[in-house]
Structure 1
Amino acid sequence: MNNLISLHNVGKKYANRYILQEVTIDVNSGDSIVFTGHNGTGKSTLLNIVGNLVKSDTGTIRYMPNIRISYVPEHFPKMNISASAYVENMAQIQGLTQVEAKRKSTELFEAFYMSNMIQTPIKYLSKGTLQKVAVIQALLVKSDVLLLDEPLSGQDSDSQRYFIQYVKQLNKEGTAIVMSCHEKWLMNTLSKTVYEIEDKTLVKRNDISERSLEYVLMSFDKGERLEIGDVGSSVKIEELVLKIEKQEQLVEIYAKRENSKMIVLKMMEAGYELRRMTDERMD
């Protein structure tokens, strides 16, 4: 196992106030690490420090020589360039030939269901499609470390599934995954080690109890008179679900089998119609 990045007693402050202090962590090949915590605790800042995108104010950081780090930001900038031109240029900057860049970008655009949007200027893309571009540019070449900042934000369910499978395969091949995330679903799916940011430092949590989880996927139609809105709070099922995905007409809910009956009852009471219910597995 190769040591890729080492942080020792790292701290970061803004406006003379520390948001991170005495952070010590090693990132090794094959690791899959998640930083979690409440909003504003410094998850994204720590991820940027790990990636050498933000300088720390205290402590030391050591990187493996010639390390290759890829990054999926939470917010991708809107630019007046097409998705295709941007991704192909990024691929060539990262060392691919023009032919290789075209082949790899086409493969990823197809995998993420956005082939019909590649000539659209990035500034006109939706939030979910912007996030796909952010993911695609990070997957163009195999990296030593892949940094993910809330990577599923806005992505459709098919793209999410492909992304998770792709990243898990990279991790099996040795790429270290370091992720900022608040979604329990994604944490259970991708991470091996969870660190919570608490009192400005990292606290290790080893409670990934649902590593091989059998679950139920339920699809509900909102009907003609309902607005999807915040399904979890409005239908009072926040504690019963693993993940909720909302589309124009459908709501997809992932949950443990023992909670599925109660969820169906509550959703139907609220006026939703059950369209599909299937068994799935999260390995």
Structure 2
Amino acid sequence: MQRTLHVNAVELKNVTKLLAGNPVISGLDLILKTGEATTVIGHNGSGKSTLIKLLAGIFEPTHGVINRMTARTAYVPESFPEQIRFRLREYLLLLGKMTGRHENELIKEIGIYADMFGITTYLDVPLKQCSKGTKQKAGIIQALLHKPELLLLDEPLTGLDPASQNELLNQLIELKQELTIVFTAHELLLVAGLADRVIEIKQGKIVSDQSSAKRELYRSIKVTCTELVDFKVIPGVITVHATGNQQFVLNVQAAKSDDVLKYLLEHQCSILQVETGNEIELVS
């Protein structure tokens, strides 16, 4: 797929969306550039998912205008349908055929994507027996079979374990070279690794739109804590992953890691491992 730089993919002009008579998106103006990876952040109920559905054409605006310049758009919802009876390969092939593509071409492409996403061994497993992570990857693959120019993802990391989050993140970064991507997210890891631009929505309005980021070293701290500790209130902590047996892995800003270590020791935590990581993008 050829990327065309400096061309708008979607334009929203004074867009308002009412649901049940209530404004979920209010007077929103937005231009999305081709080739950008944009994340939409905000609290639950802020309008993130509604905006994604407006971009996808699932919703149309109550007021205002949306101009979609991309020929093909693919949308991946947060939740995968639970009662699909097909095996994974059958499901992907069926949806691929709906686009009018030839079966032989689809079989080859499904194999390529399955290998890329690490789910080749699950291709003949019924979808209802697959993990959430495998279903999430299947959702992205079925979207890619449509050869989209614009890929829309609603909370792609929700419910995945840390290893699956990192794996999926790396695959999306690889796809970023060929697509315009818009996604909603809570996880800073995804925002940091993938987004060129971060848009924050509050009560259906854009309150922040940043395309710049700063680079910063981080450290990974593995700890055991017998007491209940709210890690997310510690200044400098970026992400927290529970690994079981009262063990946690904290990604922290390197500049504040000494203060984090001091805090952990003061709260009866045992430090198991400290590693310096590569640079990641932290939203300015």
Structure-1-length-normalised TM-score: 0.81
1:156 is displaced (CA, Å) by 3.9
Indicate which of 170, 188, 192 corresponds to 2:192: 188
Indicate which of 207, 215, 228 corresponds to 2:218: 215
Distance across 1 between alignment mates of 2:160 and 2:175: 20
Distance across 1 between alignment mates of 2:235 and 2:30: 32
Distance across 2 between alignment mates of 1:96 and 1:276: 50
Query: Which runs of structure 2 are paired with 1:107-118 in the superposition (5 Å)?
Result: 107-118=112-123
* Counterparts in 2 of 1:207 and 1:62: CA distance versus 1, 3 Å: closer
* Counterparts in 2 of 1:56 and 1:142: CA distance versus 1, 3 Å: same
* Counterparts in 2 of 1:18 and 1:263: CA distance versus 1, 3 Å: same
Structure 1 counterpart SS, 2:172: helix
Question: Retained in 2: the 8 A contact 1:237–1:263?
Answer: no
Indicate which of 110, 122, 126 corresponds to 2:127: 122
Query: Which runs of structure 2 are paired with 1:7-86 in the superposition (5 Å)?
Result: 7-64=12-69, 67-78=71-82, 79-86=84-91
1:22 is displaced (CA, Å) by 0.7
1:277 is displaced (CA, Å) by 2.4
Distance across 2 between alignment mates of 1:100 and 1:248: 43
Distance across 2 between alignment mates of 1:113 and 1:171: 18
Structure 1 counterpart SS, 2:10: strand
2:242 is the alignment partner of 1:246: yes
Question: Retained in 1: the 8 A contact 2:217–2:276?
Answer: no
Distance across 1 between alignment mates of 2:259 and 2:102: 54
* Counterparts in 2 of 1:126 and 1:273: CA distance versus 1, 3 Å: farther
* Counterparts in 2 of 1:80 and 1:28: CA distance versus 1, 3 Å: same
Amino acid in the other structure paired with 2:237: V
Count, aligned residues: 273
2:284 is the alignment partner of 1:281: no
Structure 2 counterpart SS, 1:168: helix
Question: Retained in 2: the 8 A contact 1:131–1:153?
Answer: no
Question: Retained in 1: the 8 A contact 2:85–2:128?
Answer: yes
Amino acid in the other structure paired with 1:282: I
Summarize deviations over 1:43-78 as a string: whole Å, max 9, x none.
00111001101122111112226x111222111111
Summarize deviations over 1:67-105 as a string: whole Å, max 9, x none.
111222111111122222212322333454333323332
* Counterparts in 2 of 1:140 and 1:275: CA distance versus 1, 3 Å: farther
Amino acid in the other structure paired with 1:206: Q
Structure 2 counterpart SS, 1:113: coil
- Between the aligned residues of both structures, percent identity stands at 27
Question: Retained in 1: the 8 A contact 2:78–2:156?
Answer: yes
1:106 matched residue in structure 2: 111
1:138 matched residue in structure 2: 143
Question: Retained in 2: the 8 A contact 1:246–1:252?
Answer: yes
Indicate which of 194, 206, 210 corresponds to 2:210: 206
Structure 2 counterpart SS, 1:4: strand
* Counterparts in 2 of 1:17 and 1:214: CA distance versus 1, 3 Å: same
Query: Any unmatched runs of 5+ in structure 1?
Result: none
Structure 2 counterpart SS, 1:107: helix
Structure-2-length-normalised TM-score: 0.81
Farther-moved stretch of structure 1 (117-126 vs 24-33): 117-126
Query: Any unmatched runs of 5+ in structure 2?
Result: 1-5
Question: Retained in 1: the 8 A contact 2:15–2:61?
Answer: yes
* Counterparts in 2 of 1:141 and 1:253: CA distance versus 1, 3 Å: farther
Farther-moved stretch of structure 1 (196-205 vs 69-78): 196-205
Distance across 2 between alignment mates of 1:267 and 1:138: 43
Distance across 2 between alignment mates of 1:68 and 1:186: 24
